[in-house]
Amino acid sequence: MPDYKAPVRDIRFVRDELLDYPAHYRSLPAGGEATPDVVDAILEEGARFCEEVIAPLNPVGDREGCSWSEAGVKTPSGFKEAYRRYVEGGWPSLAHAVEHGGQGLPESLGIAVTEMIGEANWAWGMYPGLAQGAMNTLSAHGTEEQKATYLTRLVSGEWTGTMCLTEPHCGTDLGLLRTRAEPQADGSYRVSGTKIFISAGEHDLAENIVHIVLARLPDAPPGTKGISLFIVPKFLPAADGGLGVRNQVSCGSIEHKMGIHGNATCVMNFDGATGFLIGPPHKGLNCMFTFMNTARLGTALQGLAHAEVAFQGAIRYARERLQMRALNGPKAPGLPADPIIVHPDVRRMLLTIKAFAEGNRALLYFSAKQVDIARYSQDAAERAAADLLLGFLTPIAKAFMTETGFEAASHGLQVYGGHGYIREWGMEQNLRDSRIAMLYEGTTGVQALDLLGRKVLMTQGESLKAFTRIVHKFCKAHAEDEGLKAFVEPLARLNQEWGEITLQIGMQAMQDRDEVGAAAVDYLMYSGYVCLAYFWADMARVAQERLAAGTVEEAFYRAKLQTARFYFARILPRTRGHVEAMHGGAGPLMEMAAEDFDLGY
Amino acid sequence: MPDYKAPVRDIRFVRDELLDYPAHYRSLPAGGEATPDVVDAILEEGARFCEEVIAPLNPVGDREGCSWSEAGVKTPSGFKEAYRRYVEGGWPSLAHAVEHGGQGLPESLGIAVTEMIGEANWAWGMYPGLAQGAMNTLSAHGTEEQKATYLTRLVSGEWTGTMCLTEPHCGTDLGLLRTRAEPQADGSYRVSGTKIFISAGEHDLAENIVHIVLARLPDAPPGTKGISLFIVPKFLPAADGGLGVRNQVSCGSIEHKMGIHGNATCVMNFDGATGFLIGPPHKGLNCMFTFMNTARLGTALQGLAHAEVAFQGAIRYARERLQMRALNGPKAPGLPADPIIVHPDVRRMLLTIKAFAEGNRALLYFSAKQVDIARYSQDAAERAAADLLLGFLTPIAKAFMTETGFEAASHGLQVYGGHGYIREWGMEQNLRDSRIAMLYEGTTGVQALDLLGRKVLMTQGESLKAFTRIVHKFCKAHAEDEGLKAFVEPLARLNQEWGEITLQIGMQAMQDRDEVGAAAVDYLMYSGYVCLAYFWADMARVAQERLAAGTVEEAFYRAKLQTARFYFARILPRTRGHVEAMHGGAGPLMEMAAEDFDLGY
């Protein structure tokens, strides 16, 4: 694995120059603490922690993996110590409320730190990452007593948490879940059932683990409307707030996976474990949905993380590896061959990774800004608008960023030629680790249905318009700008086409609902490419302004313009294929009988 | 890993019904032995061997891997015994000349067996596969004595072989290679140097290993024109033809790789090892090129193999896994949920895999037919025509089939949802194993330059025309066929566009040779999609004819037509993106200074 370097300059470009986070923070009540000085300190300290403490553990985690015994799960060497330093540094508490021991900083700042952690070592970052999920649930739906008991210890990092949703027979289809919770006389519940794929379900980093568990009450209606949410701690809290008795929840085994070996993916057995209801009975799924957007953004950034790692590895190798001469004649005549960065196809791969990493970063921080507004704004209409926009962008970010992150990881490996396939370079680990992101937190197909069905068509296109209006405004404002014409004109065309395609699918869907499923993934990928086109056009605008104003960072801004040109010329054309595939409709997908697929044997 | 089932019916469809192999074999002098009965027996016996003997070892090989010690390399449990049965079955000798102990059957029949072996267990198949490379070299360039000593023992399977090309500092750029060969008084050479990435370089399957080694003579001119080819056996042959003394070649270590764990990828140290020149001095690379096409087809079929495995796994899971209801209402109301094959997006993935597997199979056997003609035809003009066509199709087959094979493997994993990421299902192994194919035997980028630069532009488009003429003839012949119109019309348009794009790039390349490198991969993928469009149109023709004539296999042929429609409606649109990307040209790839790529830190 190449030495990790946090892309602090680029994060600042996106946050400060493109999205004006300083003004954003000034406009939020919760943003008052996030002064430029504080933000700087956090980014710099976060970068140092990630570069020095957790990045070196990334190949270790892959090699050693986790090991299971009756006594529990042992994480790879160094993971526990790194977690101790993470807690000491106060990182778990960054974006949590002061009354629960948090630092009261905006969620978006937490996401910036999470980006760097994820890039440095995704498998390690999942332990505190899952705890954030549990904290968000408790914070939104817990009673004051539950917050005092559990949330404060999660915020301090003393304890970690998990989200226990999946069961062997149900992942996407949570309506089928069977885990049961029987009410007890003391107001608690006895929870019984088996959960699988529980990330960070058992480990040795912290003294206690707070499981947030989906289960059914005895009187629950069938399906998704009969699911409730429970807290099931590994150790029950004692009266003094410390650790009490061991609860009847245990890790039965851990999975052997393609990647993220450093994170324990657990089968969790609940054998009449004591649990406590959070939120109203039978409303567990609704409670989950309230923070699903944040959780999915957390997974979206995995795509960015693996693209960033792929880029750092590939660019170094492309400058060092000498192989063949440039087609137009030697570029490094003093060397036995030219560095492979002279070859157009190597550049195509490098620029593809770069355009995805930087473009997806813009999408991520734009979305994170909506998280802040939806959560903290004092204006209800502003909160609702941000929520609509976020709901629209989240499935795009989750699926598009992880799909392009996997593609980027594959290009990163490819730049190394045969060496990319060998463990020691780290590029194959990056590819293996990246592959999970298109599966968990809702597969690409599930995100696509959420986007096209639930978010776009069910709002009669309102959520789409929330974004296309922004794009339209941008295009109008810069229609006369000669330097931006090459971006604004195609962007405006795509922005219009987006609406037309949506209308078309909406009409077809009234005849046949399978048309939604048939178009969904192409629609989502198309949407992702257009979103990034907007962000790349806007980044080109910033770069052009800075260059016109004069800057000592000329090369940095010039590279932004060049990457934007590359994106429009060489990546955005993929939209053509997606549009034509959508025109193909559901017919060619649905006509084959299920039993006719495999007759060639 | 799902139980492997050899796709014998589909192989027969492609060979017998689509490509009329029976007539092809009757027309060849070497084809006389390949009577329908013999072909049937070989396919059936081969299928049984692959299904029963080597497929069960596929997950074993992945789990155990190979282990190195001073004494040698140990292959996974069962590999040696399977190889013994392979030799006993006479499989190594299938497509080799009778005078060297072979069965004198056509190369294309060997490829059919190799397909099934590769699908059953790619890592195992590489041991005999590499030996085929050594046999081809000896057969084409060895002296009679070398053939008698080495080739016969390779053909019998007593010994295996390798191809030793790559060195630590050179893979693609063989002109840089440093391994030296010093002539000795007895006519032999002392070979010294280090070779890496030597597949099957050391193992315990056979008593001797014949390395074919690229090295430089002392008086060699620099670059690719100074490379010679040597035989370096692990054990020198004794006077009686048996094993003599151990040679000074040894395996220093084996690589830890992303996949194909069952195959030993070796660092080979030649410490003054005794070697024997094959072919003329300094002409080693030319000698290699003479059979490069066959070797690359051998790798091309790895893409087919992983697509086939992905399909077999995905279709079974898609029919068994119950999750959610169909968008248009329950399809299996008696079950708790519908099988996921009802969902359009799951079908999109299944059909994508199926269209690639079956389409690539047609491309493979069409190419294999050209191998036969180029090698065995008694008509020199026919040989030359087949060679031109094969030269054109080979880089397309190698790169397109392995890229789409990797994509198919990824879809296969995705159909399983989170379970796809877990080892026990085998889909993640299939994806890991598939990733190497885009790297070795020339990366996708190298194949693309070979296609566009060497094969197409350097022949002034003659090699392209060799194929587009076939397509044109097909389109003309079926222009009035109502049932084929939906295929023939778009195919004819693409066939014309192919020539236009080629001309355009050719013109641009006269100004700037980087235009070739900039367009190459998009050009290759475009070419692959158009090739498959031709084969799918032709397969639709066969299916339509069979259905019109009446058949008991109605469902089989109907599925062919349906898959063809899917391919044209939902996959072929990708050509639009590639065309527009090519129009983007070299500018956006070349303008960024090498030092400006990574300023975001």
* Rounded Cα–Cα distance for residues A159 and A133 (Å): 13
Q: Which of A416, A449, A482 is the last residue of a domain?
A: A449
Nearest to B432 by CA among B304, B299, B307, B260: B260
CA atoms within a 13 Å half-sphere pointing along the CA-CB vector of B406: 24
The pLDDT value recorded for residue B30 is 77
The pLDDT value recorded for residue B399 is 98
| Residue corresponding to tokens 């198949």 | B125
Q: Which of A449, A476, A493 is the last residue of a domain?
A: A449
Within 220-259 of A, beta carbons closer than 8 Å to B belong to 255-259
Active-site pick, A119, A167, A358, A441? A441
Let me know whether B324 and B442 are in one domain: yes
**Structurally, how many domains does chain B consist of?**
2
| Residue corresponding to tokens 């990421």 | B421
The pLDDT value recorded for residue B346 is 98
Residue B586 pLDDT greater than 80, yes or no: yes
Residue A30 pLDDT greater than 80, yes or no: no
Which of B197, B348, B576 faces A418 most closely, judged by CB atoms?
B197
* Rounded Cα–Cα distance for residues A437 and A226 (Å): 28
Which of B256, B410, B578 faces A423 most closely, judged by CB atoms?
B256
Q: At what angle do helices B462-477 and B380-415 cross, to 10 degrees?
A: 80
In the chain, the amino acid numbered B89 is: G
Would the CB atoms of A438 and B414 count as touching at under 8 Å? Answer: yes
Containing structural domain, residue A337: 288-449
* Rounded Cα–Cα distance for residues B484 and B472 (Å): 14
Would the CB atoms of A176 and B336 count as touching at under 8 Å? Answer: yes
In the chain, the amino acid numbered B150 is: Y
Q: Which of A399, A422, A449 is the last residue of a domain?
A: A449
Within 180-209 of B, beta carbons closer than 8 Å to A belong to 197
Let me know whether B581 and B481 are in one domain: yes
Let me know whether B431 and B533 are in one domain: no
Residue A1 pLDDT greater than 60, yes or no: no
Residue A568 pLDDT greater than 60, yes or no: yes
Tell whether A326 is covered by a domain: yes
Tell whether B263 is covered by a domain: no
Spell out which residues of chain B touch residue A566, defining contact as CB-CB under 8 Å.
588-589, 592
The burial class, CB within 10 Å (0-12 / 13-18 / 19+), for A398 is buried
Rg (CA), chain B: 24
Task: Return the SS3 of A237.
Answer: strand
A237 — phi, psi (to 5°)? -70, 140
Spell out which residues of chain B touch residue A256, defining contact as CB-CB under 8 Å.
422-424
Spell out which residues of chain A touch residue B591, defining contact as CB-CB under 8 Å.
562, 565
Contact with chain A for residue B135, Cβ under 8 A: no
Tell whether A150 is covered by a domain: no
Spell out which residues of chain B touch residue A326, defining contact as CB-CB under 8 Å.
514
Q: At what angle do helices A57-64 and A427-435 cross, to 10 degrees?
A: 70
The pLDDT value recorded for residue A511 is 96
The pLDDT value recorded for residue A415 is 98
A186 — phi, psi (to 5°)? -85, 10
Q: Is A44 one of the catalytic residues?
A: no
Spell out which residues of chain B touch residue A312, defining contact as CB-CB under 8 Å.
598
Q: Between these two residues, B111 and A32, which has the higher pLDDT value? A: B111
Query: pTM for the whole thing?
Result: 0.98
Tell whether A476 is covered by a domain: yes
Number of helices (H), then strands (E), in chain B: 20, 11
Q: What residues contact B333, with CB distance under 8 A and at least 6 apart?
A: none
Let me know whether A376 and A411 are in one domain: yes
Residue B21 pLDDT greater than 90, yes or no: yes
CA nearest B8 in A: which residue? A601
Residue B101 pLDDT greater than 70, yes or no: yes
Which of A315, A342, A518 faces B344 most closely, judged by CB atoms?
A518
Which of B324, B432, B598 faces A258 most closely, judged by CB atoms?
B432
For chain A, give the mean pLDDT: 97
Average pLDDT over residues B278-300: 88
Let me know whether B503 and B380 are in one domain: no
Spell out which residues of chain B touch residue A424, defining contact as CB-CB under 8 Å.
256
CA nearest B517 in A: which residue? A344
State the smallest CA–CA distance between residue A582 and chain B in angstroms. 8
Q: What residues contact B156, with CB distance under 8 A and at least 6 apart?
A: B87, B92, B93, B101
Mutate to test the interface with B, among A163, A421, A454 (most CBs of B within 10 A): A421
Mutate to test the interface with B, among A169, A347, A354, A563 (most CBs of B within 10 A): A347
Tell whether A238 is covered by a domain: no
Let me know whether A442 and A542 are in one domain: no
Average pLDDT over residues B343-351: 98
Nearest to A247 by CA among A263, A226, A264, A230: A230
Write out the two tokens for A513.
């609902």
Task: Return the SS3 of A442.
Answer: coil
Would the CB atoms of B589 and A344 count as touching at under 8 Å? Answer: yes
Let me know whether A445 and A460 are in one domain: no
Which of A418, A520, A574 faces B440 most closely, judged by CB atoms?
A418
* Rounded Cα–Cα distance for residues B186 and B236 (Å): 14
Let me know whether A323 and A470 are in one domain: no
Let me know whether A432 and A480 are in one domain: no
User: Among all residues of B, which ones are annotated catalytic?
Assistant: 441
In the chain, the amino acid numbered A364 is: L
Which of A328, A445, A520 faces B514 most closely, judged by CB atoms?
A328
Spell out which residues of chain A touch residue B351, defining contact as CB-CB under 8 Å.
588-589, 592
In the chain, the amino acid numbered A52 is: E
* Rounded Cα–Cα distance for residues A30 and A102 (Å): 12
State the smallest CA–CA distance between residue B153 and chain A in angstroms. 31
Q: At what angle do helices B485-511 and B462-477 cross, to 10 degrees?
A: 160
Within 536-575 of B, beta carbons closer than 8 Å to A belong to 553, 555-556, 558-559, 562-563, 565-566, 568-571, 573-575
Which of B258, B344, B517 faces A586 most closely, judged by CB atoms?
B344
Would the CB atoms of B559 and A599 count as touching at under 8 Å? Answer: yes
For chain B, give the mean pLDDT: 97
Please give, one letter per residue, the 3-state secondary structure of B227-259. Answer: EEEEEEECEEECCCCCEEEECCEEEEEECCECC
Let me know whether A362 and A394 are in one domain: yes
Phi-psi domain of A272 (left: phi exceeds 0; alpha: psi -120 through 50; beta: other)? left
Do the interacting molecules here have an ipTM over 0.90?
Answer: yes
Within 436-455 of A, beta carbons closer than 8 Å to B belong to 436, 438-440, 443-445, 448-449
Nearest to B79 by CA among B99, B95, B60: B60
Each residue's pLDDT tens digit, B120-177:
999 999 999 999 999 999 999 999 999 999 999 999 999 999 999 999 999 999 999 9
Tell me, what CATH number does B317's domain have? 1.20.140.10
Interface size between A and B, measured as CB pairs under 8 A: 318
Average pLDDT over residues B442-462: 97
Residue B318 pLDDT greater than 70, yes or no: yes
Tell whether B150 is covered by a domain: no
Each residue's pLDDT tens digit, A4-28:
999 999 999 999 999 999 999 999 9
The pLDDT value recorded for residue A2 is 63
Nearest to B451 by CA among B506, B521, B514, B535: B521
Let me know whether B440 and B476 are in one domain: no
**Do the Cβ atoms of B43 and B112 come closer than 8 Å?**
yes
In the chain, the amino acid numbered A86 is: Y
Cα end-to-end distance, chain B, whole Å: 43
Let me know whether B478 and B358 are in one domain: no
Residue A517 pLDDT greater than 70, yes or no: yes
* Rounded Cα–Cα distance for residues A31 and A29 (Å): 5
* Rounded Cα–Cα distance for residues B490 and B475 (Å): 10
Would the CB atoms of B345 and A593 count as touching at under 8 Å? Answer: no
Please give the share of chain B, as a percent, with pLDDT higher than 90.
96
Tell whether A204 is covered by a domain: no
Would the CB atoms of B514 and A587 count as touching at under 8 Å? Answer: no
Number of helices (H), then strands (E), in chain A: 20, 11
Tell whether B20 is covered by a domain: no
Contact with chain B for residue A346, Cβ under 8 A: yes
Residue A293 pLDDT greater than 90, yes or no: no
